[in-house]
């Protein structure tokens, strides 16, 4: 009897989606429906609620690492693998879309302040963290801009290999990165600093110059590489 109750509920939820689309579903209900396909004989709504409560939103659940997902009570290895697959599938599709998200703009780089103004305009009103790559030709004119990744209010990640791929695609050798802190100041985290230095070294090995990494916060902007140079000169 329990299975018939669950089956009837699942069909009702599917009917709602078929009729009105995903906008008719809350984050928890959408996640519940997604979990139908990996947990076939249980009520997935309580688990979906725990996941949303733990991570804050559907986007954050799908962006969580397998290690983070495993900390949620009742979430088994098969479900973790399934959501990780969904996340990576989305990233692959997003990478294809990013190839179309190229925005040549009239801008010439003269100083880090130019980048600060550019990223401030692009990211200061964005409610979630985004990471952008901008590519410059040898005359320091902006040729391409790529959205590297989107996260939540507190975190964004991207594949460093995409930086190499996009810079080469743009036929440029100079680039810069910017990301935002929607609810915090522009002070870079230690991870921001260390990953920037690692990326700079990796790009140098590919003949690509990372000119700057700008962090946009609710108090302005910070240039990570400029700060590192200033620190070394002290």
Q: Tell me: the pLDDT tens digits for 159-209?
A: 899 999 999 999 999 999 999 999 899 999 999 999 999 999 999 999 999
Winning range, highest mean pLDDT, from 10-24, 36-50, 105-119, 173-187: 173-187
Identify each DSSP E strand in the chain by its residue range. Answer: 130-136, 142-150, 174-180, 209-217, 220-223
Return the minimum-mean-pLDDT range out of 45-49, 88-92, 212-216.
Answer: 88-92
Task: Find where tokens 């609620």 sit.
Answer: 49
Q: Please name which of 65, 136, 131 lies closest in space to residue 98, comparing C-alpha atoms.
A: 131
Residue 2, pLDDT score: 44
Residue 157's CB is within 10 A of a number of other CB atoms, namely 15
Tens of pLDDT, residues 55-74: 999 888 988 889 999 999 88
Assign 3 a pLDDT band (cuts: 50, 70, 90): very low
Report the mean per-residue pLDDT for the chain. 86
Q: What is the DSSP letter of 89?
A: H
Return the minimum-mean-pLDDT range out of 4-8, 25-29, 174-178.
Answer: 4-8
């Amino acid at each position: 009897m329990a299975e018939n109750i669950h089956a009837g509920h699942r069909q009702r939820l599917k009917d709602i989606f078929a009729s009105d689309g995903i906008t008719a579903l809350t984050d928890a209900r959408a996640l519940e429906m997604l979990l139908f396909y990996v947990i076939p004989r249980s009520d997935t709504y309580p688990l979906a609620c725990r996941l949303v409560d733990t991570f804050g939103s559907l986007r954050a659940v799908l962006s969580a690492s397998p290690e983070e997902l495993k900390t949620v009570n009742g979430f088994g290895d098969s479900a973790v693998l399934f959501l990780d697959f969904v996340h990576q599938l989305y990233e692959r599709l997003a990478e294809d879309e990013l190839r179309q998200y190229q925005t040549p703009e009239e801008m010439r780089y003269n100083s880090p302040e130019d980048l600060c103004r550019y990223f401030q305009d692009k990211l200061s009103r964005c409610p979630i963290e985004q990471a952008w790559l901008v590519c410059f030709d040898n005359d320091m004119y902006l040729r391409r801009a790529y959205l590297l990744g989107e996260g939540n209010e507190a975190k964004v990640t991207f594949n460093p290999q995409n930086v190499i791929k996009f810079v080469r695609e743009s036929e440029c050798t100079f680039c810069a990165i910017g990301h935002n802190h929607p609810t915090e100041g522009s002070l870079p985290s230690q991870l921001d600093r260390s990953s920037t230095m690692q990326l700079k070294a990796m790009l140098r090995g590919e003949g690509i110059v990372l000119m700057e990494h700008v962090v946009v916060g609710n108090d302005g902007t910070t240039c990570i590489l400029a700060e590192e140079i200033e620190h070394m000169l002290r």
